[in-house]
Amino acid sequence: MYFFVAMTVMSLSFVSCSSDDDGGGGGDPVLQNSISAKWEIQDSNSPYASFEFNKDGNYIVVMRDAGQQQSKKLSKGLMRVRSSAPDNSGLSPVHFGTYRIEGDKIILSGFGVMEVISITNEEFTFSFTLQSTGETNSYVASKAEEPIASSSRTEMLCRTWNLNNITIDVSQLSEEMINFYKAIYGANWQTEIEKLFNKDLNGAVVLFSRAGTYLVLYDGEEGEAGLSEWKWANQQETTLYYSWDNWNDDWSDNIVTIKELKTNSLVIQEGELLYHLTLKK
């Protein structure tokens, strides 16, 4: 199963944040630490399921029907294969972008404006004006649990990343497979295959959070979104699980290795594929 895969379906055999508890609101300027969390709206009549913010200045808004759509016929892999086929189009209705705080207002770029009515460690009451229609409604949201414990590695991972390129770890391929690719692509087979993987990256964005959110924007901030979940797979925090189906699939097979985790760079390996990311500016 693949955590990330190339953006187009290819016939290759190997392809198939934290938050703080500082209060705010009450007429005081909103603090970024106050809102840096995932906030869930329990009202089933709300078109929004959750609003999530991180300290990199990014927001994720998940629409109410995202869960149902996300479970439909997902491709496997850290980064799902995209295809024009109708039965492979179950991308979640997710809105992503940058936000800024102006007094008691939170401006979600390209989406709308939240006005804070009150905020505590556990509850967030606000009005929201949708940019496209001008419609304003009030909502009460509860802070979601943060199943990912805080640690130095967790804090480094739970950021917003740009996926820069994909490379192949040749040591993970059998001699038979290497000869197979040489026969198709010639002596420079590795370079040619990596070109195929990288030609459609188009500034893909990846986000992890302590709420267990794993988000992929396939064409940068304006692209389609894939929404998943993640959690550490070992105490050393060098491997992690991911699930595209809320852990209903055999997620023990969905495991990847963190080959490098630094303040500004991240390398993830799944099988023979290495995904190279840098911190989004």
Interval 81-125: pLDDT, tens:
443 333 333 345 889 999 999 999 999 999 999 999 999 999 999
Q: What is the pTM of this model?
A: 0.81
Task: Indicate the angle between helix axes 175-185 and 189-198, nearest 10 degrees.
Answer: 80
Domains 32-143 and 152-279 are alike in CATH topology: yes
d(CA 213, CA 231): 9
pLDDT at 221 over 90: no
Stretch among 23-32, 158-167, 233-242, 267-276 having the lowest mean pLDDT:
23-32
What element of type H or E holds 273? strand 273-279
Q: What is the average pLDDT across 1-29?
A: 44
Query: What mean pLDDT, rounded, does the chain reach?
Result: 82
Asked if 100 and 29 count as a contact pair (C-beta separation under 8 A), the reply is no
CA distances to 83, 205, 266 from 10, rounded to whole Å, are 10, 21, 25
Q: Domain 32-143 belongs to what topology?
A: Lipocalin (2.40.128)
Q: What are the residue boundaries of the structural domains of the chain, listed by start?
A: 32-143, 152-279
- Give the pLDDT mean for 117-138: 96
Q: Hey, which CATH number is domain 152-279, 2.40.128.270, 3.40.225.10, 3.40.50.261, 1.10.10.10?
A: 2.40.128.270
Name the β-bridge partners of 216.
206, 226
Residue 243 has pLDDT above 70, yes or no: yes
